[in-house]
Structure 1
């Protein structure tokens, strides 16, 4: 899977977790929604781990561990590249 596809999957799953989180704030006893939230959260964690293993950290300041050498300073950062222009 190319970098662009992986980032798009991460964005889509993050959207679902945020949406379900907001829903669960007003429907805290909806078991189906909780199960969906947990499922999407697991998927998101796996996708982020895969991305960081291949391309480096998505976030900094204690949210991601670093490999050697320190990769946070490698360009481009996730928000700086035109991924929609990249081909796989």
Structure 2
């Protein structure tokens, strides 16, 4: 019983450490480096937050997807690792 509790605690500590290492969602202030290192769901959340901050309302899914792809392309080509995703050309 004591050993399984130790394994559980070790697992929780490792989980918290990994969670602390993931890029944070900052909307338009998210740097290209963090954006490109994120999975598709996290990228979508960052773009959705950026568009909501800009427009004051939730964007349509088609606009979010198109903007995510535009930001991704911009960050891979013209952007630098420190460029904020809000600087990417988008609607």
- Same fold judged by TM-score > 0.5? no
Q: As a proportion of its length, which structure holds more helix? A: 2
TM-score, normalising length: structure 2 = 0.32
TM-score, normalising length: structure 1 = 0.33
